[in-house]
């Protein structure tokens, strides 16, 4: 057999790992070493990933899997390995591409931060972990990297650790995703004991569940699917575990682009796609995925309308778009989910990096304090505009094609979700219009010395803008390239969604138009809603009070329980121990008291004891 | 070459060499004393590493064992049946197998690190290190002894040095803590001794025919192998009811007696482990003993409880363990959740770690309760892993206290700015503690849960909640110390010195090594451990 690039795919994560280790050892010696190692290692990974992808596109390369022993308890072996499929090849390119661009961008954005080498080492560790997650050939290996990306996310959210908000956000990110991870862990335990031969690799999982062969009982399948989905819900910020993602915006903006928009948060979608056979074997699980996804899409989009922090708006947008992806998966379209993941990775990374460029210039994140930046930051404004159009689903930008595909499927499968998707699309366009017009149009406020960012930052913006325009053409209603390739022809897109396409484009344009009317023309007053239904605005601003709810329903009771148990531990459990000790002491003292050297006392005790003894012997008869 | 040496005895008693030198050093020469003591802890480490290397090579070969008769007295006892004479033989019997090898390595490694960490000790170095080295002899002996009385002697040998180490070099309430430690553990030891006496007096006999072939000679011993095989063999004298014997069987161990001994052992080792509600003594030790002593205490001494439970409870009484697997699992879950919830509200970092130890020992109980290959491997890996992690955490506690004079969470904060190295190590140790894959904690936790899941789904599901709570309390305390704004008072503290950094890096290296390449532990465990497992599954009637 000829050696192929796929066989060398295990090298891809090793580049950033090497960068991480080198930075760990020598990071303190120079400030430039981080930029250099980070960029070079991710570029190397990107080149190799691209070769792997090309190989998979042109030659019809077969999946390649290789695994080694990891945990060996004698008769039971857990393996660790990698597998290259079309899906993983695509993900590899997305991850390495965005990672490389973010590495370059950060050279400008993080310039002047004294811990820039630490930053780059974390990014390298993250890239390694994310690539490991993508390449993993079995559930256990995937779980290992799944946790590692979580830790990297945590480290980077808390990068500016002196800020109390960053500390709180990092903690929250870790703990909330950990709830999901516990679900995933249980899913793996269940899978292990039910799989034939206790296999955990995706190939055999696929075989066991494919086509509902009944190797594994239906109820168990549903349980496994739901538990895995809980993991995905945590990682991909789906309702009700979405609360960490907006707070994670405390991290440096390049991180928001890389981890909290393009790659890690999409890992949940990837996980569901990777174990799609399990989900397909359980209609219940599929429905749950679809409805949670659809609900999250509209839920987060409405919150996005009322936020004022530029990054939080984008974060809620990410939550909402991930909801679309989940919805597509739940509607039995892997292509739809992955396609949207693919386009979203580029245009959302673009939007975050654009937002970073803005923040870099004006040093605030509040869009109410910005304005008129379009003339001062032409590249940022133009590229951000392209990203906004792609997100809003305006043809021919990439987001239009992927969102249209999802809506088209929903239209055919579950009309209710189609309606939800369309309404959410309207809000999406509206909040992006609001964001864009408030930041780039109108009169300048506050910071008057805003200027365009350095080329290291605008360069990645331009590259991503190009991708945001063209990435959608891999899959259009007339051309099933991606779907055919990804699912081996299993998913044929039901074309001819002309009506859906018109609706989808129209609703996006309507949202933008409304935004234009409100925030540029002023035809509709900005407080049109807040003057009529202040509670509604408050509700959205407070994000439906979900955080408060969790605080009251989980955090406080848990703390109270801790306090209560602490008291019990001290006074009851240890109290009994002390009481036992005290009793022994008292008995001893009593004994001492009796032996006081007075014959009268001894006589009394002796007589008393004799009475008891006689009574005992006498009473024993009646027993 | 190694087989010709009494390597096990050398490992056990090599610290005494250092002790001997220490005795002749004037007590003012603190540098000499420290160097001697640290060197003395290196001896057993190097020897046990040598053993480890050799051990893996001779797979399937003769296990390392050393025997000598220690005490032998003839018993003046009436002749019963064919038996005409009796002797009591207590053996000096040392051995190493897949169960003790990982713990031996843990002990010798943590021993060196704790000796290094004792540089923070401020007074009476000479007597400190003398007790320290005696303690190490006791710990190593516990894991190698193969005779119940020898085991008991070594077990007791750890109590007395610990008593003085806590009582003299501890914090404010050190004497109270030392008393509580000694008395509580003394009760545990008494219960253990009772169980052992029962065992020796019934199951611990070997019958040899006398030269005349008519009469038998019965020798009682505390040999682990003899007791184990007598208990395991259904047709052994000890397991044959009086009626089946036809005549009086003085050695008969009724089913009820099996249970009594099993429960006595469970309580005795449960105190040490500790199992809720027998845990309160160890909170005091964690809080009051000097950090380097807690490294030993939390890192190694608690493991003796689990080791004893496994070796004497589980492997000698498999059917009792099997019947009580659910109880053990429930106790484990209580430990996990109770420890975690309490760790959540502690205000003192050392107490967070103490409750965290309770929680992590619960995972060991889960692994034991699974009674299968996966879970028991998980339990032992969890033991070793927790040993390294808690040793590392208390090493850090020592360094923090030496600089800030406090380990109250409210006094600390923002250390990542002034002490980036220490904070990084603390964060990594915290991650290991909460079971991050790639570090040792995950392997033990995962295998224990996976093993238990086979037989007890719901209990495992509840135990997984502990995974979440662990993350909460670890992050609360670790981030409270390292992240956030720096209090004025701590702005100028210096990062760790080389002598502190070396043990930190070494312990971290082992944590990473086990996490990435668990074969370092699972491979030596294949010796003897697999046969134990096999016996267990046969005897448990599975």
B176 contacts chain A (CB < 8 A): no
Q: Do B519 and A69 touch (CB under 8 A)?
A: yes
> Residue B145 pairs with which residues in a beta bridge?
B94
CA distance B200 to chain A (A): 30
> Residue B218 pairs with which residues in a beta bridge?
B86, B207
Query: How big, in percent rounded to 5, are the helix, strand and coil portions of chain B?
Result: 75, 10, 20
The full set of domain ranges for chain A reads: 1-137, 160-281, 312-541, 548-622
Q: Do A75 and B373 touch (CB under 8 A)?
A: yes
Contacts of A148 in chain B (CB under 8 A): 436-438
Q: How far apart are CA A616 and CA A326, in angstroms?
A: 80
Contacts of A224 in chain B (CB under 8 A): none
Q: Do B482 and A175 touch (CB under 8 A)?
A: no
**pTM of the predicted protein model:** 0.92
Lowest mean pLDDT among A557-571, B269-283, B515-529: B515-529
Q: Do B484 and A175 touch (CB under 8 A)?
A: no
Contacts of B183 in chain A (CB under 8 A): 581
pLDDT category at A124 given cuts 50, 70, 90 is very high
B194 contacts chain A (CB < 8 A): no
Q: Do A75 and B377 touch (CB under 8 A)?
A: no
Bigger pLDDT: A382 vs B527: A382
What separation, in Å, do the N-terminal and C-terminal C-alpha atoms of chain B show? 41
In a 3-state reduction of DSSP, which class is residue B208? strand
CA separation, residue A208 to residues A201, A278, B49 (Å) = 11, 9, 45
Exposed / middle / buried, residue A381 (Cβ in 10 Å: 0-12, 13-18, 19+): buried
Q: In 10 A of CB B172, how many CB atoms? A: 9
Selected for mutation to probe chain A from B182, B345, B439, B534 (highest A CB count within 10 Å) is B345
What is the tens place of the pLDDT at every residue in A434-464? 999 888 887 777 656 778 888 888 899 999 9
Across the interface, which of A76, A164, A185 has its CB nearest the CB of B464? A185
The pLDDT score that the predictor gives to residue B542 is 44
Q: Do A71 and B518 touch (CB under 8 A)?
A: yes
Q: Do B344 and A143 touch (CB under 8 A)?
A: no
Q: Do B436 and A561 touch (CB under 8 A)?
A: no
Bigger pLDDT: B535 vs A552: A552
Q: How far apart are CA B26 and CA B31, in angstroms?
A: 11
Q: How far apart are CA A542 and CA A536, in angstroms?
A: 10
Contacts of B431 in chain A (CB under 8 A): 151
Q: In degrees to the nearest 10, what's the CA dihedral of B332, B336, B339, B343?
A: 170
User: What would the two tokens of residue A410 be?
Assistant: 């929903």
Which parts of A59-174 are beta strand (E)? 64-72, 77-84
DSSP state of A332: T
Contacts of B453 in chain A (CB under 8 A): 189-190, 192-193
Half-sphere exposure (Cβ direction) of B202: Cα atoms closer than 13 Å: 21
Contact between B242 and B249 (Cβ < 8 Å): yes
ipTM for the whole complex: 0.91
Contact between A441 and A520 (Cβ < 8 Å): yes
Selected for mutation to probe chain B from A68, A74, A224, A226 (highest B CB count within 10 Å) is A74
Contacts of B416 in chain A (CB under 8 A): 161
Counting every residue written for chain A, the total comes to 623
Token look-up 């399990």 returns A278
In a 3-state reduction of DSSP, which class is residue A296? helix
For strands A64-72 and A77-84, give the pairing. antiparallel
Cβ neighbours for A151, distance < 8 A, ≥ 6 positions apart: A129, A174, B431, B436
Sign for the CA dihedral angle at B136, B138, B142, B147 comes to: positive
Q: Do A192 and B450 touch (CB under 8 A)?
A: yes
pLDDT category at A268 given cuts 50, 70, 90 is very high
pLDDT averaged over chain B?
A: 88
User: What would the two tokens of residue B333 be?
Assistant: 């879950």
CA distance B449 to chain A (A): 8
B372 contacts chain A (CB < 8 A): no
Q: Which residue does chain A place closest to B487, by CA atoms?
A: A162
Selected for mutation to probe chain B from A17, A25, A71 (highest B CB count within 10 Å) is A71
Q: In 10 A of CB A478, how many CB atoms? A: 8
Across the interface, which of B454, B471, B526 has its CB nearest the CB of A74? B526
Is the pLDDT score of A289 beyond 80? yes
CA separation, residue A505 to residues A318, A498, A511, A512 (Å) = 20, 11, 10, 11
User: What would the two tokens of residue B325 be?
Assistant: 């697997």
Q: In degrees to the nearest 10, what's the CA dihedral of B117, B118, B119, B122?
A: 140
Instruction: Give the distance from CA B304 to its chain's centroid.
Output: 3
Q: What is the mean pLDDT of residues A265-277?
A: 92
The pLDDT score that the predictor gives to residue A492 is 62
Phi, psi of A82 (to 5 degrees): -130, 155
The string over B291-314, giving b where at least 16 C-beta atoms fall within 10 Å of a residue's C-beta and e elsewhere, is bbbbbbbbbbbbbbbbbbbbbbbb
Query: How big, in percent rounded to 5, are the helix, strand and coil portions of chain A?
Result: 75, 5, 20
**Chain B residues 447-506 with a CB less than 8 Å from chain A:** 447, 449-450, 453-454, 460-461, 464-465, 467-468, 471-472, 475-476, 479, 482-486
Q: Do A185 and B277 touch (CB under 8 A)?
A: no
Chain A and chain B share a number of CB contacts under 8 A equal to: 129
Give the residue from A281, A268, A181 showing the smallest Cα distance to A222: A281
B522 contacts chain A (CB < 8 A): yes
Q: Which helix (H) or strand (E) holds B261?
A: helix B255-272
Contact between A88 and A20 (Cβ < 8 Å): no
Q: How far apart are CA B262 and CA B309, in angstroms?
A: 9
Q: In degrees to the nearest 10, what's the CA dihedral of B186, B190, B196, B202?
A: 180
User: What would the two tokens of residue B337 be?
Assistant: 């959740």
What separation, in Å, do the N-terminal and C-terminal C-alpha atoms of chain A show? 92
The pLDDT score that the predictor gives to residue A500 is 84
Lowest mean pLDDT among A288-292, A373-377, B524-528: B524-528
Q: Which helix (H) or strand (E) holds B209?
A: strand B205-209
User: What would the two tokens of residue A523 be?
Assistant: 């035809």
Give the residue from B157, B148, B151, B146 showing the smallest Cα distance to B67: B146
Q: In 10 A of CB A1, how many CB atoms? A: 5
Contacts of B347 in chain A (CB under 8 A): none
Q: Do B280 and A577 touch (CB under 8 A)?
A: yes
What is the tens place of the pLDDT at every residue in A216-239? 888 889 999 999 999 999 999 998
Q: Do A161 and B482 touch (CB under 8 A)?
A: yes
Q: Which residue does chain B place closest to A162, by CA atoms?
A: B484
Q: Which helix (H) or strand (E) holds A584?
A: helix A574-594
Q: Do B341 and A565 touch (CB under 8 A)?
A: yes
Is the pLDDT score of B504 beyond 70? yes
Phi, psi of B333 (to 5 degrees): -65, -40
Is the pLDDT score of A61 beyond 70? no
**Chain B residues 66-125 with a CB less than 8 Å from chain A:** none
pLDDT category at B40 given cuts 50, 70, 90 is very high
Q: How far apart are CA A139 and CA A145, in angstroms?
A: 10
Radius of gyration for the alpha carbons in chain B, expressed in angstroms and rounded:
24
| pLDDT over 90, % of chain A | 42
Sign for the CA dihedral angle at A471, A474, A478, A482 comes to: negative
Q: How far apart are CA A347 and CA A326, in angstroms?
A: 18
pLDDT category at A495 given cuts 50, 70, 90 is low
pLDDT category at A2 given cuts 50, 70, 90 is low
Q: How far apart are CA B386 and CA B432, in angstroms?
A: 9
Which parts of B46-176 are beta strand (E)? 65-75, 83-95
Q: Do A166 and B483 touch (CB under 8 A)?
A: yes
Q: Which residue does chain B place closest to A154, by CA atoms?
A: B475
pLDDT category at A363 given cuts 50, 70, 90 is confident
Token look-up 């409210």 returns B410
User: What would the two tokens of residue B49 be?
Assistant: 């590493």
User: What would the two tokens of residue A137 be?
Assistant: 């050939």
Q: Do B484 and A161 touch (CB under 8 A)?
A: yes
Q: Do A189 and B479 touch (CB under 8 A)?
A: no
Contacts of A562 in chain B (CB under 8 A): 341-342, 344-345
B207 contacts chain A (CB < 8 A): no
Q: How far apart are CA A385 and CA B74, in angstroms?
A: 98
Selected for mutation to probe chain B from A122, A140, A161 (highest B CB count within 10 Å) is A161
Q: Do B280 and A559 touch (CB under 8 A)?
A: no
Contacts of B525 in chain A (CB under 8 A): 73-74
Instruction: Give the distance from CA A534 to its chain's centroid.
Output: 32
Q: How far apart are CA A426 and CA A505, in angstroms?
A: 10
| pLDDT over 70, % of chain B | 94
B324 contacts chain A (CB < 8 A): no
Q: What is the mean pLDDT of residues B303-316?
A: 91
Q: How far apart are CA A24 and CA B394, in angstroms?
A: 24
Selected for mutation to probe chain B from A24, A68, A73 (highest B CB count within 10 Å) is A73
> Residue A201 pairs with which residues in a beta bridge?
A138
Instruction: Give the distance from CA A128 to its chain's centroid.
Output: 16
Phi, psi of A309 (to 5 degrees): -85, 125
The pLDDT score that the predictor gives to residue A1 is 46
Give the residue from B160, B132, B165 showing the smallest Cα distance to B18: B132
Sign for the CA dihedral angle at A474, A480, A486, A488 comes to: negative
The pLDDT score that the predictor gives to residue B414 is 84
Q: Which residue does chain A place closest to B477, by CA atoms?
A: A171
Q: Which residue does chain A place closest to B476, by CA atoms?
A: A171
The string over A63-80, giving b where at least 16 C-beta atoms fall within 10 Å of a residue's C-beta and e elsewhere, is bbbebeebbbbbeeebbb
């Amino acid at each position: 057999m000829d050696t192929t690039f796929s066989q060398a795919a295990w090298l891809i994560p090793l580049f950033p790992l090497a960068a991480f280790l080198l930075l760990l050892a020598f990071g303190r010696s120079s400030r430039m070493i981080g930029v250099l190692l980070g960029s070079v290692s991710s570029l190397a990974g990107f080149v190799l990933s691209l070769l792997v992808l090309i190989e998979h596109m042109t030659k019809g390369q077969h999946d390649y899997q290789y695994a080694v022993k990891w945990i060996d308890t004698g008769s039971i072996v857990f393996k660790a390995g990698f597998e290259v499929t079309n899906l993983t090849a695509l993900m590899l390119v997305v991850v390495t591409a965005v990672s490389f661009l973010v590495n370059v961008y950060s050279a400008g954005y993080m310039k002047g931060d004294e811990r820039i080498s630490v930053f780059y080492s974390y990014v390298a560790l993250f890239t390694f972990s994310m690539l490991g997650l993508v390449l993993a050939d079995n559930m256990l290996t995937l779980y290992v990297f799944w946790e590692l990306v979580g830790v990297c996310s945590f480290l980077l959210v808390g990068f500016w650790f002196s800020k109390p908000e960053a500390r709180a956000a990092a903690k929250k990110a870790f703990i909330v995703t950990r709830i999901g991870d516990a679900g995933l862990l249980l899913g793996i335990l269940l899978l292990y004991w039910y799989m034939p031969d206790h296999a955990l690799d995706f190939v055999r999982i696929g075989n066991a569940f494919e086509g509902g062969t009944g190797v594994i009982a239906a109820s168990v399948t549903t349980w496994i699917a739901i538990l895995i989905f809980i993991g995905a819900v945590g990682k991909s910020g789906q309702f009700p575990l979405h609360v960490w993602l907006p707070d994670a915006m405390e991290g440096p903006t390049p991180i928001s682009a890389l981890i909290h928009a393009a790659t890690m948060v999409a890992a949940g979608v990837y996980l569901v796609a990777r174990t799609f056979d399990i989900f397909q074997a359980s209609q219940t699980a599929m429905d749950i995925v679809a409805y949670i996804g659809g609900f999250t899409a509209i839920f987060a989009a409405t919150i996005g309308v009322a936020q004022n922090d530029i990054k939080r708006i984008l974060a809620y947008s990410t939550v909402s778009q991930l909801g679309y992806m989940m919805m597509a998966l739940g509607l039995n379209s892997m292509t739809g989910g992955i396609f949207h993941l693919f386009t979203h990775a580029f245009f959302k990374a673009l939007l975050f990096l654009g937002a970073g460029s803005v923040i870099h210039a004006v040093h605030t994140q509040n869009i109410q304090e910005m304005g008129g930046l379009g003339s001062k930051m032409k590249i940022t404004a133009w590229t951000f505009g392209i990203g906004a159009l792609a997100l809003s689903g305006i043809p021919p930008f990439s987001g239009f094609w992927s969102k249209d595909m999802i809506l088209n499927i929903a239209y055919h499968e579950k009309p209710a979700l189609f309606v939800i998707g369309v309404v959410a699309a309207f809000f999406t366009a509206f909040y992006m219009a609001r964001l864009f017009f408030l930041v780039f149009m109108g009169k300048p406020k506050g910071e008057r010395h805003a200027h365009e960012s350095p080329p290291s930052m605008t360069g990645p913006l331009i590259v991503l803008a190009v991708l945001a325009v063209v990435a959608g053409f891999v899959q259009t209603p007339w051309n099933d390239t991606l779907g055919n390739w990804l699912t081996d022809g299993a998913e044929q897109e039901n074309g001819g969604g002309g009506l859906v396409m018109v609706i989808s484009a129209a609703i996006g344009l309507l949202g933008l138009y409304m935004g234009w009317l409100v925030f540029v023309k002023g035809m509709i007053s900005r407080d049109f809603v807040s003057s009529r239904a202040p509670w509604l605005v408050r509700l959205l601003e407070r994000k439906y009070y979900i955080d408060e709810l969790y605080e009251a329903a989980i955090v406080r009771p848990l703390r109270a329980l801790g306090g209560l148990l602490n008291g019990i531990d001290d006074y009851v459990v240890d109290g009994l121990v002390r009481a036992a000790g005290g009793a022994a002491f008292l008995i001893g003292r009593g004994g001492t008291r009796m032996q006081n050297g007075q014959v009268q006392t001894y006589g009394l005790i002796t007589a008393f004891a004799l009475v008891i003894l006689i009574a005992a012997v006498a009473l024993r008869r009646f027993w | 070459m190694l087989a010709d040496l009494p390597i096990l005895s050398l490992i056990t008693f090599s610290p005494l060499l250092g002790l001997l030198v220490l005795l002749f050093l004037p007590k003012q020469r603190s540098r000499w004393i420290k160097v001697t003591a640290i060197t003395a802890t290196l001896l057993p480490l190097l020897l046990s590493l040598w053993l480890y290397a050799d051990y893996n090579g001779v797979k399937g070969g003769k296990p390392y064992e050393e025997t000598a008769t220690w005490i032998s007295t003839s018993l003046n006892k009436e002749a019963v049946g064919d038996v005409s004479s009796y002797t009591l033989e207590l053996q000096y019997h040392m051995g190493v197998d897949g169960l003790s090898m990982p713990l031996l390595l843990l002990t010798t490694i943590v021993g060196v690190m704790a000796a290094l960490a004792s540089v923070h000790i401020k007074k009476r170095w000479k007597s400190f290190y003398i007790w320290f080295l005696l303690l190490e002899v006791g710990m190593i002996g516990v894991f190698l002894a193969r005779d119940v009385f020898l085991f008991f002697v070594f077990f007791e040998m750890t109590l007395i040095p610990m008593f003085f180490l806590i009582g003299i070099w501890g914090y404010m309430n050190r004497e109270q803590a030392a008393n509580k430690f000694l008395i509580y553990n003394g009760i545990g030891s008494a219960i253990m001794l009772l169980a052992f006496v029962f065992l020796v007096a019934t199951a611990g006999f070997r019958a040899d025919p006398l030269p005349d072939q008519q009469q038998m000679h019965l020798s009682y011993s505390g040999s682990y192998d003899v007791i184990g095989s007598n208990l395991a063999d259904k047709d052994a004298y000890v397991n044959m009811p009086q009626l089946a014997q036809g005549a009086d069987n003085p050695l008969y161990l009724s089913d009820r007696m099996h249970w009594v001994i099993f429960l006595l052992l469970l309580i005795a080792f449960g105190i040490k482990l500790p199992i809720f509600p027998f845990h309160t003594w160890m909170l005091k030790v964690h809080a009051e003993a000097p950090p380097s002593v807690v490294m030993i205490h939390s890192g190694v001494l608690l493991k003796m409880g689990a080791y004893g439970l496994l070796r004497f409870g589980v492997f000698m009484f498999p059917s009792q363990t099997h019947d009580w697997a659910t109880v053990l699992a429930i106790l484990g879950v209580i430990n996990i959740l109770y420890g975690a919830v309490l760790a959540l509200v502690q205000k003192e970092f050392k107490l967070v770690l103490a409750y965290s130890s309770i929680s992590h020992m619960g995972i060991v109980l889960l692994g034991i309760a699974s009674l299968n290959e996966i879970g028991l491997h998980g339990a032992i890996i969890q033991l070793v892993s927790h040993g390294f992690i808690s040793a590392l955490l208390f090493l850090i506690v020592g360094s923090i206290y030496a600089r800030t004079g406090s380990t109250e969470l409210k006094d600390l904060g923002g250390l990542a700015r002034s002490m980036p190295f220490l904070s990084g190590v603390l964060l990594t140790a915290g991650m290991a503690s909460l079971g991050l894959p790639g570090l040792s904690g995950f392997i033990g936790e995962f295998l224990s849960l996976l093993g238990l899941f086979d037989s007890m789904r719901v209990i495992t599901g509840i135990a997984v909640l502990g995974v979440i709570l662990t993350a909460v309390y670890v992050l609360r305390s670790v981030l409270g110390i390292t992240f956030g704004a720096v209090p004025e008072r701590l702005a100028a503290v210096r990062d760790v010195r080389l002598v502190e950094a070396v043990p930190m890096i070494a312990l971290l290296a082992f944590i990473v090594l086990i996490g990435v390449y668990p074969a370092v532990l699972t491979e030596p465990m294949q010796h003897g451990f697999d046969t134990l497992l096999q016996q267990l599954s046969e005897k448990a009637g599975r």
